[in-house]
A and B are shown apart, each in its own frame.
Chain A
Amino acid sequence: MNNQRCGSFEYPAPLIYLGLKLLDKLRYKNYQIAITLIIGGVVLALWKPFVLIEGLQVAGLYASIALPMALILGIVGIINLAHGDFMMFGAYFAYWFTVYTGADPLVAIFPVSLGLFLIGMATYRGTIKYMHGAPELIQLLLTFGISIVLQQLANLFWTSQPVSIHVGYASASATIGTFTFGTYGFVYVAAAVILFIGLFHFLRHTRIGQAALATGQNPTGAKLVGINIDRIYLLIFSISIALVGVMSVLFLTRHSIFPHVGGIFTLKSFCLAAMAGLGNLTGILWASLILGLGESFVKSFMGYAGWADIIFFVLIIVVIMVGSYRRRVK
């Protein structure tokens, strides 16, 4: 009955109804933000379309690398200073794999993520496990040590000479009118979205995920209700490192790899995680989007690229300060 009525003579009604419901869902403030974003996006798309496209691609890369770090930070409670170095290691594995098998680098996703899963497990079992109960900052030092070891191992095995793999599709591009842009970069956007949805689903709708969430919020409480928190930590740590492995392969397809390549991504991921707020995965997406677009915007003005870094860090400070101010006022 209903379907028939909607379908026949009141056809705009369901659309309007859906729209209203959507607007209703967005709380007043979010609604404002959404409108601003849409207007900003349209203006940007007309004025400097490549800022929008490239900013989005950069944001995707940032977000997809930061998400696993946020996961470790939120649940295991460790600032993993070796985060980017795990990615570097994964990328070298992928390079190795590609050179020896001659296969497409993307095939390496499976062995590399498996390999990094095991490395993550070994790292946890061998070191981090013993850090529970020790002062939290000590874990920071531990991951710093791991970071040095990974970098130096890579330097010994593969030397500091950058390596890169050239795959034709990584420079695929599309042209609209006179405007040519790269399309492969969207793979990072896709990766970020898939990673985010996957993690979200995992944390909300699976038993292990819920247990992990509970552990992250209150380890003592989780222990009391019978969750084996050591298992959870092991699992989350290894999964995160495996996800870093997936990203490392995608990273390799477009970037040169050298032993110190990970450092800056540790830094940026840490910043993003802090900007988003502890354990806030959605926040990572927003933060990456703001930073990616902000950077691309500044760079798009000839001669101002040197200041793009400032935008990154100023935005981080502003977001954190505003957040802290709001909390204090409340």
Chain B
Amino acid sequence: MKNWRYIAYTVIIAIAILFPFYTGTYLQHTATAILIYLSLALSWDMLLRTGQMSFGIAGFFGIGGYAAALTHLKWGIDPLLSIILGGIAAFFIAFLLGLVVLHLRGMYFAIVTLALAEIFRVIVRNLHSVTGGPEGSVLPSAIFGGDPSKIYWLILAITITTILVSEVFQKTRIYFATTSIRNDELVAKSSGIDIFKYLIFVFAITSAIQGIIGSSYAHQYAFVTPEETFHIHFTLLPMAMCLLGGMYTTMGPVVGALVLGTIADYLKLQLPYGHLLVYGVVIIIVILFMPRGIVGTVRERLERGK
């Protein structure tokens, strides 16, 4: 049984890696876009497993994007290295802010992360000399000269890393820590868990992932602007994907992102006008009939079937 699973994973990964060899540029670009949202959704879920709901994905995404673009532009740092720098920047900013804001819980944490993302955006917009102000900054060229296959592999590598990190979070003591913190902080601390340490750790790691994705995005499209790079849809869409797929698992956000991403693209081809309407309707319908998300509800059904 277990072996089958590993074989299946290997096959899926192989298919994913070989994807550019048997598809056109368009599908590669679409897949890249879906993988970007997939990683964001998964990183959001990883923090959600501690019970903390962040509304600040776009903030760290944007910080990563700007850090990568500016280090590349001003100091000529290699794009790949600057992507990692973007992640590091997001990591440290999240770490420092986490020291303060991770005392908050629930809705208060959500709002403060939302506010922080907006503050990042306003600061970036107003620092004309460094960031290029509201007009943003244009990079001389896209990463890998815009080669879609290489960009796809880059994003795929980041996605697989994110999935691995998520699995590490699920399979090690971190799983016990996050689950107990989410369920009952009193039990968690009475069982010897340093809640604050774990929250900061998870917050910084997930923000770093978001930063890295933001950096790659900036390099893929070779520009950053405050309105585009910090756009709220980088917060809302991943959340929707994760919730639709199912929370607290690796599988959930992955399935959610694949389903919503594919639907969005299919609809765009079928219905040039009004596809976003159908997209919204699909979200509502899926939620109505699968209130625990796709993975959660399917699992529940299977268990009941047993």
In the complex, which residues of chain A have a beta carbon less than 8 angstroms from the beta carbon of B293? 138
Across the interface, B243 reaches (CB within 8 A) one of A137, A151, A274, A313, namely A137
Are A145's CB and B108's CB within 8 A?
Answer: no
Q: How many interface residues does A have (CB within 8 Å)?
A: 44
Q: In the complex where A141-B287, A317-B112 touch, is A309 in contact with B273 (Cβ < 8 A)?
A: no
Min CB gap A128→B, angstroms:
10
Q: How large is the interface on B (under 10, 10 to 19, 20 to 34, 35 or more residues)?
A: 35 or more
The verdict on B16 contacting chain A, using a C-beta distance below 8 Å, is: no
Q: What separation, in Å, do the CA atoms of A306 and B53 have in the docked complex?
A: 29
Interface string of B269-291 (1 = CB under 8 A from A): 00001101101110110011001
Interface string of A302-317 (1 = CB under 8 A from B): 0000110110011011
Name which residue of chain A comes closest to B285, CB basis.
A145
Which one of B23-31, B80-88, B120-128 is at the A interface? B120-128
Interface string of A173-200 (1 = CB under 8 A from B): 0000000000000000000000000000
Are B276's CB and A324's CB within 8 A?
Answer: no
- Count A/B pairs, Cβ under 8 Å: 122
Q: What separation, in Å, do the CA atoms of A306 and B118 have in the docked complex?
A: 12
In the complex, which residues of chain B have a beta carbon less than 8 angstroms from the beta carbon of A307? 122, 126
Are B104's CB and A309's CB within 8 A?
Answer: no
Are B115's CB and A152's CB within 8 A?
Answer: no
Are B111's CB and A274's CB within 8 A?
Answer: yes
Are B244's CB and A141's CB within 8 A?
Answer: yes
The verdict on A224 contacting chain B, using a C-beta distance below 8 Å, is: no
In the complex, which residues of chain B have a beta carbon less than 8 angstroms from the beta carbon of A127? 284, 287-288
Q: In the complex where A144-B236, A316-B111, A317-B116 touch, is A156 in contact with B277 (Cβ < 8 A)?
A: yes
In the complex, which residues of chain B have a beta carbon less than 8 angstroms from the beta carbon of A152? 274, 276-277, 280
Min CB gap A220→B, angstroms:
18
Across the interface, B280 reaches (CB within 8 A) one of A79, A145, A309, namely A145
Name which residue of chain A comes closest to B121, CB basis.
A309
19 contacts between A and B (CB under 8 A): A133-B291, A137-B48, A138-B243, A138-B292, A141-B240, A142-B283, A142-B288, A144-B240, A145-B280, A145-B283, A145-B287, A152-B277, A153-B277, A270-B111, A274-B108, A306-B126, A314-B119, A316-B111, A325-B103
Residues of A participating in the B interface, judged by any CB pair closer than 8 Å: 79, 127, 130-131, 133-135, 137-138, 140-142, 144-149, 151-153, 155-156, 263, 267, 270-271, 274-275, 278, 306-307, 309-310, 313-314, 316-317, 320-321, 323-325, 328
Residues of B participating in the A interface, judged by any CB pair closer than 8 Å: 48, 53, 100-101, 103-104, 107-108, 110-112, 114-116, 118-119, 122-123, 125-126, 232, 236, 239-240, 243-244, 247, 273-274, 276-277, 279-281, 283-284, 287-288, 291-293
